[in-house]
Structure 1
Amino acid sequence: MQSPQRYIAHMDLDSFFVSVEVLNDPSLKGKAVIVGGSRERGVVSTCSYEARKFGVHSAMPMKKALQLCPHAILARGTRGEYSRYSRWVTDIIAAKAPLFEKASIDEFYIDLTGMDKYFDPYQWAIALREEIIEKTQLPISFGLATNKMIAKIATDMAKPNGYLFVQPGMEQTFLAPMPVNKFSGVGEHTHNALKEMGIFFIGDILKFNINDLEKKLGKWGVDLYAKAQGMHHGTVHSYHEAKSISTENTFQENSADMEFLLRELVRMTERVGYELRQDQKLTGCIAIKIRYPDFETTSRQTTINFTFSDDELIPAAISLFHQLYRKGKPVRLLGVRLSELTNHALQGSLFDNPEKKLNLYKAIDDVKNKYGKTALQKARVVKKGSI
């Protein structure tokens, strides 16, 4: 039996952070706007298309960006609003899509394979895009193709605020005229090596024998040859099955000692925060679980601004604990869980003293990686005292 034709849509909110800033302040519309950190040591998170015309791009040092575009308006960012709009778009997609993956705070893959029996996948994606724009007023682009790689490249070609369908069988024709560094993973070193081989465009790759590419570039050469043919086997991972990060502790002796319980709570929250950062994720939801000696188990969760920072996770965990705990009753088990995980931890950290915070957590995690997870802990975890 023949496999159904694959259809994958990739949807990406255009200059998401800037778009949210413009909605909150319409006077910014049509102007060069940069969202990111401080003028001296910050990094560009995203920028408007008006700023891009001057060569500004994401991950660029803010100082350089302002040299290129000195008249740009610098927005420090309102992260709570970004979280709210991201969830809004996610909810719209979840209500319509048979299977979708939230790749980051502003990026989604939708698997429409087999659905062409019931509707035109292209028209369905157009209708979904129109609904998102109508409800949220956010610009969004999409690409539709037979796999994730082509769909993402199609989205890039469709921007700003457009859409593009690469029909089945047209993958090689679509890719051939593009520069070879259009493929993710082709950095400066690889790009220079390919140019020395006479490979400037993706179509040039297929002029070579695959064995020659493997000799020159190793396994990456084989992978590049497959990509140039438009082949990619990545699957859409259901957002509803996204993994959570959790930890729990069953105490040797039941305890109603508030000081002890809060110390344990902080220790466990630090632990899941560390795991979160190691996975390069953000979390948008934290939950607390309490089990009593009679095995009665209660839990409570709350949505939070997407973060990976202990100094945001710990207060949320403590607040939930105080809401949930039946004061004076001994506790048998305590647990902490992070869910609503998404990528782009760096972006999510750009708005609250980014340089200090990034350097701080990198230093802390480097110590933990070298000497063990308990090598550094909050003072309240290892010393007695009120929280």
Structure 2
Amino acid sequence: MTAKLASEENKPNGMYIIKNEEQFKKEFGLKKIKIIPGIGKVTYDMLKSKNLFIIRDLWKYSLNEMKDKIGNVGIGLYYKSRGIDNSIVGRIIKNKSRGKEITYQEDIYDKKIIYNTLKEIIKEISFEMKNTKKWCKTITVKIKYEDMEQITRSKTVESSIRETLELYEVVDGILKKISFPKKVRLAGMYVSNFTNHKIEQLKLGERVKKENIKKVSELAYKIKKKYGKNIIIDPLDCK
């Protein structure tokens, strides 16, 4: 969380160093609450109605008090206002492909963490493709091991896709074919082979299933775009 806020302080260079908690409080205590990632208009208006305007206002309350005051949203804001957030910070790559890769602070051996990492990347890439009205046909997964050995595996699908559940289905298939004999330092995912419209080659039963997925995902996207990405869970979070 500290990294996300700090990167906003010195755009376009994106380099701003926060050395300790005291500096964080000094730099961000008087900032408006709406600079915290994930706060949309509805949440911001609700916070103002509770007389919460700047980040320092949130420091007055304990975790339980925050939950009692504004519900489950208060739990996340309690930590974020103190520079703590477990969501992933990485870099977006935009050219002929779009993607993101995450370097772990410590080499990991837990495949579940890798899956969760790629789920977060999928949600971000899906949201971006919808913003730019793009679909993709090729999905690539990148893994770098602790000894710096690197592998990439790609799959090209017949129908262009961009929904989170569709992307996850492809990524899951790729991961099942990758062995993990040693710890992992980096995990990433890229999409490419873009189209400006939906291309589908489906049987009738598959078409009905895809249409249902699309309806749910499009509704989730519209709500997130209007009110903030964290306002509702993504269908992928139910996997």
Partner of 1:135: none
Contact 1:270–1:314, Cα closer than 8 Å, also in 2 = no
Q: 1:251 to 1:367 in 2, by over 3 A?
A: farther
Partner of 1:370: 226
State whether structure 2 residue 186 is matched by structure 1 residue 310.
no
Distance 1:330 1:366 in 2: 38
Residue 341 (structure 1) aligned to one of 185, 194, 197: 194
Matched ranges for 1:3-82 at <5 A: none
Matched ranges for 1:270-281 at <5 A: 270-281=123-134
Contact 2:165–2:235, Cα closer than 8 Å, also in 1 = no
How many pairs are equivalent?
Answer: 141
Where 2:147 maps in the other structure, the secondary structure is coil
Q: Deviations over 1:209-259 (max 9, x none)?
A: xxxxxxxxxxxxxxxxxxxxxxxxxxxxxxxx9722201111122211122
Offset, 1:356: 3.6
Between the two proteins, what is the percent identity of the paired residues?
26
Partner of 2:39: none
Distance 2:230 2:142 in 1: 22
Offset, 1:377: 4.1
Contact 1:285–1:338, Cα closer than 8 Å, also in 2 = yes
Matched ranges for 1:138-217 at <5 A: none
Contact 1:282–1:307, Cα closer than 8 Å, also in 2 = yes
Distance 1:376 1:247 in 2: 23
Where 1:259 maps in the other structure, the secondary structure is helix
Contact 1:286–1:316, Cα closer than 8 Å, also in 2 = yes
State whether structure 2 residue 145 is matched by structure 1 residue 289.
no
TM-score (ref. length: structure 1):
0.33
Q: Which has the larger radius of gyration?
A: 1
Q: Deviations over 1:47-96 (max 9, x none)?
A: xxxxxxxxxxxxxxxxxxxxxxxxxxxxxxxxxxxxxxxxxxxxxxxxxx
Contact 2:143–2:150, Cα closer than 8 Å, also in 1 = yes
Contact 1:270–1:377, Cα closer than 8 Å, also in 2 = no
Q: What amino acid is the match of 1:361? A: S
Higher relative contact order (CA 8 A, sep 6+): 2
Contact 1:292–1:332, Cα closer than 8 Å, also in 2 = yes
Distance 1:379 1:279 in 2: 21
Distance 2:107 2:127 in 1: 27
Q: What amino acid is the match of 1:246? A: G
Partner of 1:131: none
Matched ranges for 1:115-134 at <5 A: none
Partner of 2:79: none
Matched ranges for 1:216-231 at <5 A: none
Partner of 2:179: 325
Partner of 1:57: none
Residue 255 (structure 1) aligned to one of 91, 105, 108: 108
Distance 1:379 1:313 in 2: 12
Offset, 1:281: 1.2
Q: 1:375 to 1:320 in 2, by over 3 A?
A: farther
Where 2:222 maps in the other structure, the secondary structure is helix
Offset, 1:375: 4.0
Offset, 1:376: 3.9
Distance 2:230 2:157 in 1: 26
Partner of 2:61: none
Partner of 1:359: 215
Where 2:207 maps in the other structure, the secondary structure is coil
Offset, 1:326: 2.0
Distance 1:380 1:280 in 2: 20
Where 1:344 maps in the other structure, the secondary structure is coil
Where 2:148 maps in the other structure, the secondary structure is coil
TM-score (ref. length: structure 2):
0.51
Where 2:124 maps in the other structure, the secondary structure is helix
Offset, 1:348: 4.4
Distance 2:107 2:151 in 1: 16
Distance 2:135 2:185 in 1: 30
Where 2:100 maps in the other structure, the secondary structure is strand
Distance 2:148 2:189 in 1: 17
* Structure 1, unpaired ranges of 5+: 1-240
Partner of 2:99: 246
Q: Deviations over 1:7-47 (max 9, x none)?
A: xxxxxxxxxxxxxxxxxxxxxxxxxxxxxxxxxxxxxxxxx
